[in-house]
Amino acid sequence: MVDMVMAPPEMQVVYDYPDSLTDTPTSYCPGCTHGIAHRLVAEVLDELGLREQTVLVSPVGCSVFIYQYFNLDACVAPHGRAPAMATGIKRMLPNHIVFTYQGDGDLVSIGAAEILHAAARGEKITTIFINNAIYGMTGGQMAPTSLPGQKTTSSPTGRDIVSTGNPIRMSEVIAQLDGAAYIVRRSLHDVASIRKAKKAILTAFKVQMAGLGFSMVELLSSCPTNWGIAPETALEWIEQNMLPYYPVGDFKVRDDVKAL
């Protein structure tokens, strides 16, 4: 990826571009943490040596073009239906790793039934769930995960919980289901959290490799453009506003997962 002429030969590379990502520049806005999540997944697949055996199911949302960014086999599901498509692929190709990458507008609203039933059936797939509390691609409308009082284009005076209800904590909901083996929430708001998120993604893929059941990692992400703030302020906004409502933690780690 870098100009190799400039690379200092006397030094060792400590951080380089993952093989599981293509050279295509992403369509995300500056500072969007989608890119960080992509890189973490790519690094985990590189470390596990699974690039040739992995099938990615792309969602609808900002990350709909994810198949261009990952150097993997992929297909695009209709809005919210990625877990259903992943179920079919995994059942036909049980020796492959199948994962879905979904945003909150995709997974929590229109795709809520699919993700709940995939988890309830204990499908041996992995879901990377990006929660940025807003619909990004369509212009910043209120999502089921938008915080109480959060201003969006469809809630210009702030989310009114009397008429729209409270945000859904999806990880906690899915953790209730017996088929779910590993359900955790992590954040991408600082370097330490990003490193922890990578460990969680690694575990989630190991759960699928061992065939233990459904695994999901929820990642609290930023949307600087639609939140209307600068990228670094957006990371602070995650810490100050999202973390109190969506606490980071392990909501379900089954005993057989702990033994991994």
User: Does 255 help bind another protein (rule: CB under 8 A)?
Assistant: no
Name the residue nearer to another protein (CB basis): 195 or 258: 195
Size of residue set near another protein by CB under 8 A: 38
Indicate which single residue of 49, 162, 163, 191 sits in contact with another protein (rule: CB under 8 A). 191
CB of 195 to another protein, least distance (A): 7
Q: Compute CA distances 134 → 104, 142, 149, 200, 253, whole Å.
A: 7, 5, 13, 23, 28
The H or E element that residue 201 is part of is: helix 191-209
Tell me the chain's radius of gyration from C-alpha atoms: 18
Smallest gap from Cβ 3 to another protein, in A, equals 7
Report the C-alpha gap between 127 and 204 in whole angstroms: 8
Nearer to another protein, 30 or 156 (CB): 30
- Nearest Cα neighbor of 216 from 194, 186, 195, 245 is 186
Which residues between 2 and 61 bind another protein (CB under 8 A)? 2-3, 6-8, 10-18, 21, 25-26, 28-36, 38-39
- Cβ(143)–Cβ(135) under 8 Å? yes
* CA distance linking residue 45 with residue 52, whole number of Å: 9
User: Which of 37, 3, 1, 35 lies closest to 19 in space, CA to CA?
Assistant: 1
Report the nearest approach of another protein to the CB of residue 192 (Å).
Answer: 9
Which amino acid, residue 147? L
If you search the block for the tokens 């009082």, which residue do you land on? Answer: 149
Residue 227 touches another protein, criterion: CB under 8 A = no
Helix, coil or strand: residue 239: helix
CB of residue 235 to another protein, shortest distance in Å: 7
Hey, which residues between 192 and 221 contact another protein (CB under 8 A)? 194-195
Q: Measured from the CB of residue 216, what is the shortest distance to another protein in angstroms?
A: 22
240 binds another protein (CB under 8 A): no
Closest contact distance (angstroms) between CB of 226 and another protein is 15
Contacting positions for another protein (CB under 8 A): 1-3, 6-8, 10-18, 21, 25-26, 28-36, 38-39, 190-191, 194-195, 224, 230-232, 235
